[in-house]
Amino acid sequence: MTNNADFRQQFVDFAIKQDVLRFGEFKTKAGRLSPYFFNTGLFNDGASLRALSGFYADAIQTSKLPFDMLFGPAYKGIILAAITALALSEKGQNVPYAYNRKEAKDHGEGGMTVGAPINGRVLIIDDVISAGTSVRESVEIIRAAGAIPAGAVIALDRQERGNGPRGSSSGTLSAAQEVSALHGIPVIAVATLDDIIRFLKQNSRESDKLEKIETYRREFGSASN
């Protein structure tokens, strides 16, 4: 669990130490050559998941966004919603959670979702937003249940330009901002590219990392961040 108000910088430090945040040259889904790579799937043991859950809980409670339950889109969102519910309960906020299946189950309890009934204001818990597909599907499930999407929480906002209008690559909004505008919900990030840059300025002796990221940000960063 975190014990400092500046949890975002702690999270960046933690991600680097866990090798979840890496520096080098990586090709993104958009075909861009990025000087860094972030993969929440590498939080893959009990201790790292426990710490990760605390950062999600900190981001949620700091946002002061009202919500009634959590929803985790399959597959990564399932464990993220579960551990975030645990962390919130440890911070005195006990909330139910649910998640979806990729395919409907026709026996046992059946249906497309597992966990608590989906109702009230539902907060979506995911890892990152690229195309925004999992958030869109989650919003559809939540609204189909008669509930209200309250927002989405992600680990990292890369603050890069999204698809823009009609699938162009010249949008001024980031992928997270596009999702927010499309669905009318806020997107909360545990950390952003700004936080990575601030961390490197304060802690890294390898100035080439910072220079490459700042160059990448100037080329591909959203104009509205």
H helical segments located in 64-168: 76-90, 133-144
105 in catalytic set? yes
Q: Would you say residue 187 lies in a domain?
A: yes
Q: Whole-number mean pLDDT of the chain?
A: 89
Q: Provide the percentage of residues in the chain whose pLDDT is more than 70.
A: 88
Q: Would you say residue 1 lies in a domain?
A: no
Q: How many domains are there within the chain?
A: 1
Q: Would you say residue 124 lies in a domain?
A: yes
Question: According to the model, what pLDDT value does residue 110 have?
Answer: 52
- What is the CATH number for 100? 3.40.50.2020
Active-site entry in 105, 183, 201, 212: 105
Q: Would you say residue 140 lies in a domain?
A: yes
SS3 per residue for 108-124: CCCEEEEECCCCCEEEE
Residue 216: asked if its preceding bond is cis (omega within 30°), the reply is no
Residues facing 26 on adjacent strands: 34
27 in catalytic set? no
Q: Which domain holds residue 114?
A: 7-220
H helical segments located in the chain: 7-17, 46-63, 76-90, 133-144, 175-183, 193-203, 207-220
Q: Would you say residue 152 lies in a domain?
A: yes
Active-site entry in 17, 107, 201, 212: 107
Q: Would you say residue 198 lies in a domain?
A: yes
List, for residues 164-198, the tens digit of each pLDDT value: 643 444 457 888 999 999 999 999 999 999 999 99
Question: According to the model, what pLDDT value does residue 166 have?
Answer: 39
pTM confidence score? 0.90
Whether residue 113 contacts residue 141, with contact meaning beta carbons closer than 8 Å, is answered with yes
Q: Would you say residue 12 lies in a domain?
A: yes
Asked if pLDDT for residue 131 goes beyond 80, the answer is no
Question: According to the model, what pLDDT value does residue 56 have?
Answer: 98
